[in-house]
Amino acid sequence: MLSYTEENYLKALLQLTVEKGNKEGAGTNELAVHLNLKPATANDMLKKLKEKKLVEYEKYGKSSLTREGRRLATDVVRKHRLWETFLFEKLAFAWDEVHEVAEQLEHIQSKKLVDKLDEFLGFPGFDPHGDVIPNARGELQMRSTKTLHEEVVNHRCTMVAVKDNAASFLQYVNQVGLRINDTIHVLSRQPYDDLMEIEVNGKKSSISSRFAENIVVSCKDCDIAKPKIKSLNAIK
Amino acid sequence: MLSYTEENYLKALLQLTVEKGNKEGAGTNELAVHLNLKPATANDMLKKLKEKKLVEYEKYGKSSLTREGRRLATDVVRKHRLWETFLFEKLAFAWDEVHEVAEQLEHIQSKKLVDKLDEFLGFPGFDPHGDVIPNARGELQMRSTKTLHEEVVNHRCTMVAVKDNAASFLQYVNQVGLRINDTIHVLSRQPYDDLMEIEVNGKKSSISSRFAENIVVSCKDCDIAKPKIKSLNAIK
DNA sequence: AAATAATGTTAGGCAAATCTAACAAATATT
DNA sequence: AATATTTGTTAGATTTGCCTAACATTATTT
Ligand SMILES: [Mn+2]
Ligand SMILES: [Mn+2]
Ligand SMILES: [Mn+2]
Ligand SMILES: [Mn+2]
């Protein structure tokens, strides 16, 4: 059985590696900053989790999760996102309020509770921020990581998720009138500072590059331009 | 802010005093047994909670909650019972499974969550075991503490709650076919060992005194016999 | 009243998770 | 290459919540 604290370290490592596509692993300081702790503390825990065979750690190297560590971390993420969905869908929390409470709820230990909750919510695929909810087998599907910042002028794309879950950013997104699944029309982009003008539901807004980098989108217009079939291992 | 552990001590004291009508307070050993800890540990915590003005404690004396301690403890009980109701009503948990999970959920800190949950459940008055759910102001109403064991032969009474929340007892109650709000007809009682014969929903069962002592009932037949109005402070 | 049993307290210790301060290694800058 | 900066490690200390073992007090029997 993992402690509340150990679960948080595993989750942090998952976010710092797999989710960010950072294949080499996370550094001790990086981990400490992410968890709001001192590097010395993170260092102790990395050694402890290595002992438990949940983390691969070598002195002065980058750390990453073992298969077992990743499984456990994914389960914490699954619980986090199911609870966020519950709070949002059933208890009418705003999307900028769910994360904080889910940080606590994700540590409740009861297989049955998670499965029943999943069922009660109708086996949702995504949480209120558009993030994929891992399935009961602990598998986490990856999704488009393309951001609005990379979108082409004149294309119409769909907002699928937000990258930053901080309440301040989410409230700002609300203010702009953007919601998951909305269609965004990119009207223009200033070459100097990448300031974009967009239109959503008939409303025009100017958004900074920092803002645009935190909106994950998918775009049919782009997909048509690219070849549809990525024939990996086609030969052989 | 209270720790998980401190909350458990306050809740234990509430259960050992107010709920059991034990006005003088609870002893250190008693508290330790209730929490599955050693007396030395409970002793440390009593001193700590006295410092925080949540508990009244004197060396070699009985301990009890201060007004503030009682308020906080009642809030934990409120959360526990709301979560039990959620698990039972919304997630289809059996009544013998809810307690264990609620022991964890009761420590989640979010005023908004509790209020929203209460609303979502339709402001329930009782949990799946028939226990009163304290209101949002932290007030806990008292209810009948009369047990089936004290019931009169030939009377018909209503099962309002169970005293023992252990899964083994609750499953036994299921087996007898008893549920909250069922009408119990007391058919007979053996003077030697108080073994009772009862009838519920057309089904007859023999129950031990130990069993009967853990079924809380209310009885119209008895209430009619007694005077209805208890004129406290009638004079003056 | 004395002996016994039950209950409660203290001292000292341990493990988990955190910190600070000093030091070491790796990386970046000049 | 030398220096400076960033990153990582170690040692030692602290807090919380728990324990055991010894001792003290209170309650119950005889
Ligand atoms: Mn979140
Ligand atoms: Mn989320
Ligand atoms: Mn319970
Ligand atoms: Mn209950």
The minimum CA-CA distance between B95 and chain A, rounded to whole Å, is 14
The Å distance, CA of B212 to C1' of D28, is 31
Q: Which CATH class is domain A76-142?
A: mainly alpha
User: Alpha helices of A64-208 — where are they, by DSSP H?
Assistant: 67-89, 98-105, 111-120, 167-176
**pLDDT tens, residue by residue, B45-83:** 999 999 999 999 999 999 999 999 999 999 999 999 999
Architecture of the domain defined by A4-65 = Orthogonal Bundle (1.10)
**pLDDT tens, residue by residue, B159-208:** 999 999 999 999 999 999 999 999 999 999 999 999 999 999 999 999 99
Q: CA A47 to CA A44: how far, in whole Å?
A: 5
pLDDT of A16 > 80? The answer is yes
Query: Which is nearest to A96 in space by CA: A15, A166, A179?
Result: A166
Closest partner CB to A104 (pick from B87, B100, B108): B108
pLDDT of A235 > 70? The answer is no
Instruction: Answer whether B51's CB lies under 8 Å from B44's CB.
Output: no
Report the pLDDT value the prediction gives residue B225, as an integer from 0 to 100.
Answer: 67
Instruction: Please name the nucleotide lying closest to A47, CA to C1'.
Output: D9
Cα–ligand 2 centroid distance for A37 (angstroms): 22
Q: Do B101 and A92 touch (CB under 8 A)?
A: no
Per-domain boundaries in chain B: 4-65, 76-142, 148-218
Assess whether the region B4-65 and the region B148-218 belong to the same CATH fold. Answer: no
Q: Give residue A226's pLDDT band: very low, low, confident or very high (50, 70, 90).
A: low
Q: What is the pTM of this model?
A: 0.92
The minimum CA-CA distance between A177 and chain B, rounded to whole Å, is 25
Instruction: Answer whether A164's CB lies under 8 Å from A216's CB.
Output: no
Do strands A156-162 and A64-65 pair parallel, antiparallel, or not at all (unpaired)?
A: unpaired
**pLDDT tens, residue by residue, B120-145:** 999 999 999 999 999 999 888 888 88
Beta strand residue intervals within chain A, DSSP E: 55-56, 64-65, 156-162, 183-189, 196-200, 203-207, 215-218
A24-59 residues labelled b (16+ CB within 10 A) or e (exposed) = ebbbbebbbebbebeeebbbebbeebbeeebbbbee
Residue type, B126: F
Q: What positions of strand C are covered by protein, i.e. any atom < 7 Å from a CB?
A: 7-12, 16-22, 25-26
Q: CA A164 to CA A162: how far, in whole Å?
A: 6
Ligand with an atom nearest the CA of residue B128: 4
Instruction: Answer whether B222's CB lies under 8 Å from B152's CB.
Output: yes
Give domain A148-218's CATH number out of 2.120.10.30, 3.40.720.10, 3.40.470.10, 2.30.30.90. Answer: 2.30.30.90
Instruction: Please name the nucleotide lying closest to A41, CA to C1'.
Output: C18
Main-chain phi, psi angles of B229, to 5 degrees: -100, 120
**pLDDT tens, residue by residue, A72-105:** 999 999 999 999 999 999 999 999 999 999 999 9
